Structure 1
Amino acid sequence: MSKGLNVHSEIGALKKVCVHRPGLDLVNMKAEDFERAWIHDAFYLEYAQREHDEFTDLLRGAGAEVVYMEDLLAETFDQVEGSRAEFMSKFVPEAKIENLALRQAVVEKLDSIKDNKEFVLTAMGGLYVRDLEIPHVGGSLAAMDSDELKPDEMVLFPMPASYFSRDPIAVVGKGAMMNRMYWHQRNREVVFYETIMRHHPDYAGAPLWYDHNSDWHIEGGDVLNINATTLAIGISERTQTAAIDQLAKNLFWGTGESEIEQVFAIKIPHGYAYMHLDTVCTQVDYDKFTVYPGIYETLRAYRLTKGDSDGEVCIEEIEGTIQQILEMATGIDHITMIECGAGDPIEASREQWNDGSNTLAVAPGKVCVYERNVVTNDALYKAGVELLVAPSEELSRGRGGPRCMTMPFWREEI
């Protein structure tokens, strides 16, 4: 497989895709810490891993090379001197450990791990007081305060949402966005991918379209590659308008390597069942998209293009339905909208909760879906879409679908 990145669409044949196989990071927290760690249920890890393996086997069977973020980062540390130290210099501040003694103990624990794959998995899996040797320095109030902590007190939070590799990074063309996440607990995820993109021999040198240290948050689930020159981006709870402004400026007026000529910003409702654009709308074929009917009433959209003056971005509001906006963006005369739950409001609501609209195309007209969304899947099948059906009893508990769990690194052109 070619080195580098190449993603100009949502439906071109998937040739290389990056995932994270859930591990200790998914289960290493108490139930009372779910909200603090940003997770929503007590997962059965063995089943979640089994489902994830079956999911990635479907992708391989469709012709995709599956690469694992944890392996890529370990390879980076193995091959590039100084990359692990640079990673730590960014990772530790993002962990936001206020107690200095505890922070030092975490650093020493991670530094003591020689095997780079074990190091990566430990950094993702989290650490408790009982896992650490806390330094006791005379006159240190931080150390004395640490004595009051219980052994099962969480110090380094695990990263349970990291199997959704779509959000911290977004590949656009031959470069990538390093996103600023909405929940600060997830910002550490970006450092893993940024280290890979800056240093791994297969990806170093790829242009980076967005800096995760930006003031404004944006997430990859809101970024859809319509074609080589067009992006669609959701204005959502997780993606701010100011972030889209900055991204557009970077793409239009940056290094000159960007191919993007227009960005369609589509406003969707704020709600947990539709946190990103790709949870309410995904492309499944040249002229077919899934859609959650609940966005019809709240839709607003804008088109951003390059202005005449240096750094200028022109913005126009677009009138029309989601179908008409997608027809404008794709240049296709007629788009078929396949509704989640086959349009039934009860079924649509239920299956939207389990990401019925969140599909992953592995080729035009061939998509991966969750098996539990039977009504939506039947509607896709009747519309002529070939389905790769993935198990989803455990994986769906994280509130993300097949597209959420993948970050394409290479797609064939369409």
Structure 2
Amino acid sequence: MKVNVYSEVKKLKIVLLHRPGLELENIEPDLLEELLFEDIPYLKKAQQEHDYFAKALKDNGVEVKYVTDLLTNTLEKKGLKEQFVDEYLNLSEVKNEYILEALKEYLLSFETKEMVRKIISGVRIDEFKLNKKSFSTVVHLNKQFYLLPLPNLYFQRDPVAFVGRGALINRMKTKARRRESLFMKYVLKYSDEFSDIPIYYDMNEPFSIEGGDVLVLSDKVLAIGISQRTDPEAIEKVANKIFYESDESFDTILAINMPKKRAYMHLDTIFTMVSENKFLVHSKLETSLHVYVLKKNKHEFEVTEEDLQLEDVLKKYLERNDIELIKCGGDDEIAAKREQWNDGSNVLAISPGTVIAYERNYVTNQLLRERGVNVIEIPSSELSRGRGGPRCMSMPICRE
């Protein structure tokens, strides 16, 4: 499978998705904060909405790959089922050795496809009985799950980021999401579909980085958010790897320092590219960001600070004078807040000037159309409850 991502907007050819499953049924109110949700989606409707999203992609010539299919095929063909379970349980930090062995036996009793689904949906303590219980085992059972579900997995943008001809296997910030990166790690490392793909970051690194903070603005320029979820040290490591340990064309990284708040979770929740010169942004974006420029030199990169407004930074480093920033919600402060909350700034460009957006953000969508952008709307009453839009739900593997 060809990896080729040198733009945010060139025609999308192959994309990675995850269709939400029973993991959404295992979200309950006491776990909302730990699982990074503010509400509980209705699974049946969420699946219908996600299928609509996938159909919109396919109807526009995009090949859709599902992470569960890629992982299942890899584990089966390479005989890696037990190895994967061992590594997954290790990441899950199961402390009790007896529970650990019982979980391993339970998971391996499933066919590979069902095992992958079970790992994603989580394992409740009432699903199977332990043959014996020590005192420490009983103490550890004072909860509802052996393994927590992975409800954020339908946001495929974050665990892995394809950049140029390679990939970042990301270290996720929170424990709730850290296991997600293991899925594509196995696919990229062992699958026949991905041969000799260079890896520009590894999930075992100590610093966190998530794909929602990584934007490929051109074949020369990356933008990476310094956010609640991405550490500046991780950006330095990515810069060194791409600039000096690869043959990539990238020579500039715009490291955009963001407020460390959930409302500014990732760069792509406040800033997405919709065409070669148009960007959709949070209505308050201009006053809240500071940009550091990492520039490739002969032996080590140089860091400078830019005091310019974001529009001028983009003009300078993309070498274009026609940059346009389109505010989410426009000048209507209430509409801007409402639609920003529902990821109005988070759209997926499938070709220059054509984006997929949530239909509920009708003010922003109309503003895009008035600026010449073709907007394909998808329903989102349930998908949006996870706080992420079409870009969050997709990971481009190949663009023209």
Shift of 1:93: 1.2
Q: How does 1:55-74 map to 2 (within 5 A)?
A: 55-74=53-72
Instruction: Give deviations 1:124-160, integer Å, cap 9, x for gaps.
Output: 01001111332427xx5433545xx36x721100000
For residues 51 and 238 of structure 1, what CA distance do their matches in structure 2 show?
A: 27
For residues 214 and 62 of structure 1, what CA distance do their matches in structure 2 show?
A: 37
Give 1:121's aligned amino acid. R
Tell me if 1:404 matches 2:392: yes
Instruction: Give deviations 1:262-321, integer Å, cap 9, x for gaps.
Output: 111111222222211111111101111101122211221011122333xx2211111211
Tell me if 1:281 matches 2:271: yes
2:339 aligns to what?
A: 351
1:268 aligns to what?
A: 258
For residues 329 and 292 of structure 1, what CA distance do their matches in structure 2 show?
A: 21
For residues 100 and 314 of structure 1, what CA distance do their matches in structure 2 show?
A: 49
Structure 2 residue aligned with 1:185, among 176, 188, 213?
Answer: 176
For residues 217 and 373 of structure 1, what CA distance do their matches in structure 2 show?
A: 31
Specify whether residues 204 and 135 from structure 1 end up closer, same or farther in structure 2 by C-alpha distance, changes over 3 A only: farther
1:143 aligns to what?
A: 137
For the residue of structure 2 that corresponds to 1:293, the secondary structure is coil
Shift of 1:393: 0.4
Tell me if 1:371 matches 2:359: yes
1:251 aligns to what?
A: 242
For residues 48 and 15 of structure 2, what CA distance do their matches in structure 1 show?
A: 19
The answer (yes or no) to whether the contact 1:207–1:257 under 8 Å persists in 2 is no
Shift of 1:383: 0.5
TM-score, normalising length: structure 1: 0.93
Gaps of 5+ in 1: none
Structure 2 residue aligned with 1:318, among 297, 300, 306?
Answer: 306
State the aligned residue count.
400
For the residue of structure 2 that corresponds to 1:259, the secondary structure is coil
Structure 2 residue aligned with 1:54, among 41, 45, 52?
Answer: 52
For the residue of structure 2 that corresponds to 1:36, the secondary structure is coil
Gaps of 5+ in 2: none
The answer (yes or no) to whether the contact 1:171–1:408 under 8 Å persists in 2 is yes
Give 2:329's aligned amino acid. G
Specify whether residues 38 and 108 from structure 1 end up closer, same or farther in structure 2 by C-alpha distance, changes over 3 A only: farther
For the residue of structure 2 that corresponds to 1:104, the secondary structure is helix
Structure 2 residue aligned with 1:16, among 14, 17, 28?
Answer: 14
For the residue of structure 2 that corresponds to 1:393, the secondary structure is coil
For the residue of structure 1 that corresponds to 2:193, the secondary structure is coil
For residues 84 and 259 of structure 1, what CA distance do their matches in structure 2 show?
A: 37
For residues 30 and 299 of structure 1, what CA distance do their matches in structure 2 show?
A: 35
The answer (yes or no) to whether the contact 1:106–1:132 under 8 Å persists in 2 is no
Instruction: Give deviations 1:335-377, integer Å, cap 9, x for gaps.
Output: 0111100132221111100010101001000000000001101
2:118 aligns to what?
A: 122
Structure 1 residue aligned with 2:153, among 162, 166, 171?
Answer: 162
For residues 328 and 172 of structure 1, what CA distance do their matches in structure 2 show?
A: 22
The answer (yes or no) to whether the contact 1:9–1:228 under 8 Å persists in 2 is yes
Give 2:3's aligned amino acid. L
Tell me if 1:236 matches 2:227: yes
For residues 135 and 206 of structure 1, what CA distance do their matches in structure 2 show?
A: 44
1:308 aligns to what?
A: 298
For residues 175 and 15 of structure 1, what CA distance do their matches in structure 2 show?
A: 16
Give 2:322's aligned amino acid. H
Instruction: Give deviations 1:37-84, integer Å, cap 9, x for gaps.
Output: 332212110000000000110001111001100011111112223x22
For residues 228 and 85 of structure 1, what CA distance do their matches in structure 2 show?
A: 40
1:222 aligns to what?
A: 213
TM-score, normalising length: structure 2: 0.96
For the residue of structure 2 that corresponds to 1:403, the secondary structure is coil
Specify whether residues 102 and 40 from structure 1 end up closer, same or farther in structure 2 by C-alpha distance, changes over 3 A only: farther
Structure 1 residue aligned with 2:164, among 173, 176, 185?
Answer: 173
1:100 aligns to what?
A: 97
Shift of 1:36: 2.6
Give 1:128's aligned amino acid. R
Tell me if 1:134 matches 2:130: yes
For the residue of structure 1 that corresponds to 2:72, the secondary structure is helix
Stretch moving more, 35-44 or 241-250: 35-44
1:297 aligns to what?
A: 287
For residues 295 and 81 of structure 2, what CA distance do their matches in structure 1 show?
A: 39
Specify whether residues 155 and 303 from structure 1 end up closer, same or farther in structure 2 by C-alpha distance, changes over 3 A only: same
Shift of 1:229: 2.1
Instruction: Give deviations 1:372-400, integer Å, cap 9, x for gaps.
Output: 00110110010010011010100000000
Identity %: 40
